[in-house]
Amino acid sequence: MNLLVNMNHTRQRYERICKAYAAHGLWAIGLKKWAKHAPLYRLRNNLAGWNRQRIQQAGAASVLNVQDISSIRQLIDQAQQQSTLPLSPALLDQWFFLAIGAVQVESQTASSKAWQLFDQSIHSQLEKPAFYRSLSFGLIVSLCVMWMAFAPVKQNQIQAELSPLESSVSQARGSADPVTLSLLNLAYQKMQNGSCQLPQAAMLPEVQRQAFIMFVTEGKVDTDQVEPLRQALGYVSCLYPQELMRPQGRDRLPRE
Amino acid sequence: MNMRDKILNIASSLFDSRGIQASGVDTIILEAGVAKATLYKHFPSKNQLITAYLRDKSDKFYAWLNAQMASKKVESQELLLLLCELMAQWISQPEFRGLPFHIAAVEFPEAEHPINQYSVVLSAELQGYLCEIARHAGAKDPEALGQQLTILFEGAALVERLTPNTGAAARAKEAAMTLVRNAL
């Protein structure tokens, strides 16, 4: 039973790590993608802001000149360079002509509808086609199914059997690997069932001694003290009496 | 050619070469060789003459576009690609002076002016025409595509006019085709 519990615990820890990595990975991918697209998504605001400034200086009735056209092209090229996305010249020209058209429409009608169409063109070109969106969704669903498949079957039973170490580790967001934690858990249970001695305790380095005392008195372990604790536990010597000889009232792990 | 057409032709020629505001009624009368009363008989005001000039330019454009598309006998999606090519051809013609509604809006920037208001009508007309072709071609959002193509060619027409012979029309064609392919 102890082995089964430990296996489940280890599996849960692996699950948590996998989930954390997967979540971080998806987040990182999303962030990178957003960072690449952001300068282009901001293009509309930049161009509209530039046009407002132009109108303030030259008047609403002012017609675009060669210098203005050059400035619009420059803003688009800058956004493209900042985004580092490989965009075709035809696409950049598309936004260039649309931007000039939008500036003219805004100047003539004071309406921002043309900018919405400009924006629509950028979004439709940068966002993935429906096929890729479906593929991404399918991938996420598959990941969820895999997580569910590896989830413990008797969650309630396992929760009831959690040792203090387990509960403290559950809250931890540390970097200790699950195998080490599993070994610590095993050691804790062995110490619960046996008469253990630590003759060299006084001679342990301060870090190991602190970790060990917290472990045996409160059943807790700090995430940054896992390794010193593991080393300290190497010095523990336990004597395990036969079950019938166990003193009355002593805590034991339940057995099936 | 009747008198009305003669006056309109002379006026169009002057408007194209000198600009609408710069071409006064007296100059038109002088160039056309007609009496003032004759001009006002056919066009009671200069605004009506300008409106007729803009209408005539638009009609000629649609007639040319329809004739070109009818001669190619293309269907659905290719129709939009052909349209992009024809629009690019039109704005790169040596006699091209800008889109009629753009000319009107530039010369009469006040939103309340009748000619400015007529330019809005002409712009909507082009949008409607392009939307209809987009719908016929099976675009996902024909309204948006029609409006985007209008704005794109309005921008391209201005660039072509300001910087002639720099390949703006050809680049506009490729840009419009990219837009069309993404919208189908």
**Residue A82 CB-density burial (10 A; 0-12 exposed, 13-18 middle, 19+ buried):** middle
Lowest mean per-residue pLDDT among A18-22, A60-64, A100-104, B169-173: A18-22
In DSSP notation, B56-114 reads HHHHHHHHHHHHHHHHHT--HHHHHHHHHHHHHHHHTSTT----HHHHHHHH---TTSH
C-alpha to C-alpha distance for A236 and A221, rounded to whole angstroms: 16
pLDDT band at A138 (very low <50, low <70, confident <90, very high): low
Show Cβ contacts of residue A69 under 8 Å, excluding neighbours closer than 6 positions: A100, B158, B159, B162, B163
Give the minimum alpha-carbon distance from B45 to chain A in angstroms, rounded to a whole number. 24
pLDDT at A256 over 70: no
Contacts of A103 in chain B (CB under 8 A): 155
| The pair of three-digit structure tokens given for residue A95, joined into one six-digit string | 């936004």
Place of tokens 């032709």: B9
CB contact under 8 A, A93 and B120: no
pLDDT at A161 over 80: no
C-alpha to C-alpha distance for A95 and B175, rounded to whole angstroms: 8
pLDDT band at B7 (very low <50, low <70, confident <90, very high): very high
B92 interfaces chain A, CB cutoff of 8 Å: no
Lowest mean per-residue pLDDT among A121-125, A176-180, B130-134: A176-180
**Cα–Cα distances in Å, from B111 out to A59, A61, A121, B120, B164?**
14, 10, 28, 9, 29
Pick from B161, B164, B125: nearest CA to B146:
B125
pLDDT at A211: 78
pLDDT at B180 over 80: yes
**Cα–Cα distances in Å, from B172 out to A56, A115, B110?**
29, 18, 29
B69 interfaces chain A, CB cutoff of 8 Å: no
Contacts of B183 in chain A (CB under 8 A): 124
pLDDT at A243 over 60: no
Return mean pLDDT, chain B: 88
| The pair of three-digit structure tokens given for residue A223, joined into one six-digit string | 């995430």
Q: Which of A140-144, B5-9, B175-179 has the highest mean pLDDT?
A: B5-9
Residues A66-81, mean pLDDT to the nearest whole number:
90
| The pair of three-digit structure tokens given for residue B105, joined into one six-digit string | 């809006």
Side chain identity, residue A10: T
CB contact under 8 A, B178 and A69: no
For chain A, the C-alpha Rg in angstroms (whole number) is: 32
**Residue A131 CB-density burial (10 A; 0-12 exposed, 13-18 middle, 19+ buried):** exposed
Return mean pLDDT, chain A: 70
Lowest mean per-residue pLDDT among A74-83, A125-134, A206-215: A125-134
Contacts of A121 in chain B (CB under 8 A): 148, 179
Give the minimum alpha-carbon distance from A4 to chain B in angstroms, rounded to a whole number. 56
pLDDT at B89 over 70: yes
pLDDT band at B83 (very low <50, low <70, confident <90, very high): confident
Residues A236-245, mean pLDDT to the nearest whole number:
56
CB contact under 8 A, B175 and A63: no
HSE-up of residue B130 (Cα within 13 Å, Cβ side): 28
pLDDT band at B39 (very low <50, low <70, confident <90, very high): very high
Q: CA nearest A64 in B: which residue?
A: B158
Give the minimum alpha-carbon distance from A126 to chain B in angstroms, rounded to a whole number. 11
**Residue A130 CB-density burial (10 A; 0-12 exposed, 13-18 middle, 19+ buried):** exposed
Inter-residue contact A143 to A128 (CB < 8 Å): no
Show Cβ contacts of residue B103 under 8 Å, excluding neighbours closer than 6 positions: B20, B54, B97, B119
pLDDT band at A173 (very low <50, low <70, confident <90, very high): very low
A195, β-bridge pairs: A239
A57 interfaces chain B, CB cutoff of 8 Å: no
| The pair of three-digit structure tokens given for residue B68, joined into one six-digit string | 């070109």
Q: CA nearest A66 in B: which residue?
A: B162
pLDDT in tens, A3-52: 666 767 777 777 677 666 666 665 555 555 556 678 888 888 888 888 88
Q: How far apart are the first and last CA of chain A?
A: 7
Inter-residue contact A104 to A25 (CB < 8 Å): no
Higher pLDDT, residue B107 or B27: B27
Inter-residue contact A229 to A184 (CB < 8 Å): yes
Side chain identity, residue B34: V
B115 interfaces chain A, CB cutoff of 8 Å: no
pLDDT band at A246 (very low <50, low <70, confident <90, very high): low
Lowest mean per-residue pLDDT among A95-109, A218-232, B41-55, B65-79: A218-232
CB contact under 8 A, A120 and B148: yes
Residues B18-36, mean pLDDT to the nearest whole number:
92
State the Cα angle at A212 between A210 and A216, rounded to 5°. 120
pLDDT at A196 over 50: yes
Q: What proportion of chain B, given as a percentage, has pLDDT over 70? A: 99
Give the minimum alpha-carbon distance from A97 to chain B in angstroms, rounded to a whole number. 5
| The pair of three-digit structure tokens given for residue B55, joined into one six-digit string | 């209408």
B134 interfaces chain A, CB cutoff of 8 Å: no
pLDDT at B71: 82
Lowest mean per-residue pLDDT among A186-190, A203-207, B153-157: A186-190
Q: How far apart are the first and last CA of chain B?
A: 45
CB contact under 8 A, B147 and A117: yes
Give the minimum alpha-carbon distance from B61 to chain A in angstroms, rounded to a whole number. 19
CB contact under 8 A, B109 and A108: yes
C-alpha to C-alpha distance for A79 and A36, rounded to whole angstroms: 10
Strand bridging mode A195-197 / A237-239: antiparallel
**Residue B9 CB-density burial (10 A; 0-12 exposed, 13-18 middle, 19+ buried):** middle
pLDDT at B33 over 50: yes
